[in-house]
Structure 1
Amino acid sequence: MIMNSKLKVGVIGLGAWGCNVARCLYENPDCDLVACSDVSESRRALAERNWNTQTAVSLDEMLANFPEIRAIVISTPAVTHFSLAKQALLAGKDVFVEKPFTLKVSHAEELLALAESLGRILMVGHLLEYHPAVNRIREIVQSGELGETYYIYTQRVNLGRIRGDENALWSFAPHDISQILYILGEEPIDVSARGQSFIQNGIEDVVFLSLFFQNRRMAHIHISWLDPHKMRSTTVVGSRKMLVFDDAATTEKLRIYDSGAQTPATCSYGEAIQVRFGDIQIPHLASTEPLKLEFQHFIDCVNHRTTPRSDARDGLRVVRILEAAQKSLEHDGVPISLEHGTVRTAPSKTAVLNRQWTPQLPVFPVAATAVAQA
C-alpha cells in the first residue's frame, strides 16, 4: 500500500533533541506535523509558534484529540519509551522511538512482538545508520577495500549534557553500538565495561566499553560527559587500509589512509615488520542532515509498509548489548557472554586467539522472549 497524502505525525517530547525532531518533520514536504506534546507549557507554546502546530499535554490527550494522526514519534526520556511506545502501538499507530529503544531486553522483546502482531511499523532512532559518512564506511568495509577488519574504536565525549535518569552508557553508547553493528554486519559474542561515577553517585559519567567479535575482531567505545574535548570520532583499522570519521569536523569528515603493517611472507629472526605509509583519500559525502534522512526513511517505510533499517530487531540487538554492558559495569568489568548470558573464565592467550575457552555456569540468564498482550 502506498499512501499519496502527507503522513500525519504527532511528536511526544519537546526537549532539546525533541525540538530538532519536530523541526525536521515540520520541514519535510511528505509530512504533516499535526500536534506536539510536552508537559511544559513554554515548550508547547514554542511548538505552536515555530511550527504552526497544535499541542497536547500528554499522549492520551493527543490520541483523543487528533485521531487523524497515523504515526507517533517519541523523543521523551528513555525511562518512558516502553510505556509510550506500547500505548501508541495499541492505539493502532506506527511508532518511531528515539534511542535507547528501551531500558530492558524484556521490554524491547515485548514491543517487537506487539508491533509484529498488530502489523505496525516500529523504528528506533539509530541516527548514525543514516549518516552519509557511516553508510560510506559500511560500503568500504563490506567491499573489502580495507582488507580484513582488525578493530574499531569510537570516542563520544563532551563536557555537559549530564543526565540524572540514565548513565553515560545508556545515553551515548547506543549511537556507537548501532554504528559498529551496522558497519560490520555482525553481532559481538561478549562484552565488558568499566566506568566510574564522579558527579552523581551510581550514575556513571565515563565508561570504557569493549566488544569482542568472531575472528578476533574487536571494538572499543569511550563515552563520557565529563571530558575537556568534544569528540565524535570513529576509527576502523584493516589489514590493508585504515579510515577515520570525525563527525565534529566541519569539512573532510572522512579520511581513508592507504597505510598499514605487514609481516613478510618469509620472515627470519630479527627482520622488521613492513610498515607502509601511503596516500590519504578524502571521499565526497552528501551534506544532507542525517536526522532528515532518518525521518524520510521512516515516512517511506510507513507509506510503503516496508521494514525500517533500524527496526525493532535492530533496537533489541543494541539493548541486549547495553544490558550486558550494564551487568559488566556492576561486576567490575567482568566479560559477559552474549551467546549464553554467562561470565567468562580467565582464558589463556592461546584460547583467546582461537576462541576456544569454556564459560562458567550461567549467572546472568538471558531474558526470555516476552509475549505481548494486546
Structure 2
Amino acid sequence: MSVHEPLRAAVIGAGYWGPNLARNFRSSPDWDLVAVCDLDVDRARKVVGPRSTVDVMTSTAELLARDDVDAVAIATPARTHAPLALAALDAGKHVLVEKPVADRSGAARQMVALAAERDLVLMVDHTFCYTPPVLKMRELIAEGALGDIHFVDSVRINLGIVQPDVDVFWDLAPHDLSILDFILPGGLVPSSVGAQGADPLGAGQTCVGYLTLPLPDGAIAHVHVNWLSPTKIRQMVVGGSRRTLVWDDLSPQQRLTVYDRGVDLGQPLPDRTTANVSYRLGDAWAPALPEREALGAMVAELAASIREGRAPRTDGNAGLRVLDVLETAARSLGDGGRLTPLGATTTRPEPELETVV
C-alpha cells in the first residue's frame, strides 16, 4: 500500500464508545472505515447509517479473516479486550484498544509481547493524552518550563454512576493515571502505591478513593476520585521547581494556567536549625490552545505510527504501566491502605482468557 493511500479500519463494538471511534475513522483522511462489528446487528447498522457502504458484521472471526482490514479498534467490555486483541494481532492486524488495555496485567503483557513479535502496532485509547491541554502540558514539562517536578495533585469527582463490576479507582483513575504517564518524564513509575477508599453507601464497591504515588527524586502524586460529590471537578495541579501549572478541564475559556509562583529554599540560616525560605510571586499566564477533537488526533497518530514503523505515543506499554498501578492499588486497598511496592506479586492464578467470536 502506498503511504498516500488511506489505511483501512474496522471497529469492534458499537455501544457507548465505538460510534465515536467510527465517526473519527470515517472523517480522517488517513483512514477508510470498512466495517463495524457488533453482536447486535441493529446497533451496528445505526452506527454506520442507512446509506453507508460500510459493512455491518456480527462475527469477529469473519472480520479478522478479511484481507482488506489493516487495523481494528476494540471498544468492548474490558474482560474481552485481551482475547479480541490477541486474535487480531494473530491475524496480522494492528490494534487500537480502549482503556483499560486489559482487565489484568498478565493478559496485557501477552498483548504487548505478541505485538512486538509480529511487528504490529498496539495502541491504547488514552483519549485525554490527545487533547490540546494535555499535549501542551507534556510540551511544557519536556522543555523544562516547570523545572523539576515536585508534586502532582489530581481531582476527578462528580455525582457519578456506581458501577456494578468495577470500583471508582478502575472507573475514573485510569484517566488521571494515563495523563500522568504521558506528561511525566520517563512515564508513570512510582516506587509504590497507597490506596485508601470507602463505601459509605454499602454498594459493594469503593465509591470514594485516594491514591498516593511516590515518584522518583522525592516527588509525589495524589489522585482523588469520587462518585458521590454533588459538584463536578476535573483539575490537575503540577508543581515544579520553577513554575506550577494548573489544568481545569471545566473552564473552557482558560483550561491551562502557568504560575511563576512558588517556594525557594536557600542556604540554612546561621543557627543551622531553620531553612532560609523565600516566596516567589511572579506572573500567571495562559497558553493559547488549538481547538480540535482528541479522537481525530488519536487516529492520525495511529496511522502515523503504522506508516513510520514506530510505537505510538500511547502504546501497549503505557497501558500496562497504568494497569500495574491499578492492580497495586487494589492490593494496597486490601492491605489497609499501606504503601505497596509497584507490581508486588500475588499468588492468585491468572484466569484463562475468555474466547470471543
Deviation at 1:214, TM superposition (A): 1.9
Equivalent residue number for residue 218 of structure 1: 220
Cα distance in 2 for partners of 1:51, 1:164 equals 37
Q: In structure 2, the residue corresponding to 1:112 is in which secondary structure?
A: helix
- TM-score (ref. length: structure 1): 0.85
Residue 130 (structure 1) aligns with: 130
Question: In the alignment, which residue of structure 2 is the partner of 1:286?
Answer: 290
Q: Which moved more, 1:81-90 or 1:132-141?
A: 132-141
- Contact 1:105 1:367 survives alignment (8 Å): no
Give 2:101's aligned residue.
101
How far apart, CA to CA, are the structure 1 residues paired with 2:348 and 2:119? Answer: 27
Unmatched tracts of structure 1, length 5 or more: 342-362, 369-374
Comparing 118-127 with 32-41, greater Cα deviation is found at: 32-41
Change (3 A) 1:249 1:367: farther
Structure 1 residue 26 displacement after superposition: 1.3
Distance 2:215 2:234 in 1: 23
CA contact (8 A) 2:182 2:314 kept: no
TM-score in terms of structure 2 length: 0.89
Aligned to 2:143: 143
Of residues 288-297 and 176-185 in structure 1, the stretch that sits farther from structure 2 once superposed is 176-185
Q: How many Å apart are 1:365 and its aligned residue? A: 7.0
Give the alignment of 1:202-281 within 5 angstroms. Answer: 202-267=204-269, 273-281=277-285
In the alignment, structure 1 residue 56 sits paired with structure 2 residue 57:
yes
What runs of 5+ residues in structure 2 fail to find an aligned partner? 351-357
Taking the aligned partners of 1:320 and 1:51, their CA distance within structure 2 comes to 44
Q: Secondary structure at the match of 1:180?
A: helix
Pair 1:189 & 2:185 matched = no
Question: Of 338, 342, 345, which aligns to 2:342?
Answer: 338
Q: What RMSD over aligned residues (CA atoms) do the two structures have, in Å? A: 2.4
* Cα separation, partners in 2 of 1:29 and 1:133, compared to 1, 3 Å: same
- Structure 2 contact 242–260 (Cα < 8 Å) conserved: yes
**Could you tell me whether the CA contact under 8 Å between 1:3 and 1:304 is conserved in 2?**
no
> What is the rounded CA distance, in whole Å, between the counterparts of 1:72 and 1:120 in structure 2?
12
1:328 aligns with 2:329: no
Change beyond 3 A, Cα 1:365–1:218: farther
Deviation by residue 1:54-91 (Cα, 9 ceiling, x = unmatched):
21224224335x44111110011111111111111112
Partners of 1:367 and 1:307 in 2: CA distance: 31
Distance in structure 1 (CA, Å) of the matches to 2:200 and 2:86: 35
The 1:198/1:49 distance shift into structure 2, 3 A limit, reads farther
8 Å Cα contact 1:47/1:55 also seen in 2: no
Please state if 1:308 is matched with 2:309.
Answer: no
Q: SS of the counterpart of 1:16?
A: coil
Q: Which amino acid aligns with 1:112?
A: V
SS in 1 for 2:234: strand
Paired letter, 1:57:
T
Deviation per residue, 1:132-174 (Å, 9 max, x gap): 2222212222333223321001112222344323222122222
- Work out the percentage of aligned pairs sharing the same amino acid: 35
Aligned to 2:73: 73
SS in 1 for 2:17: helix
- Name 1:357's counterpart in structure 2: none
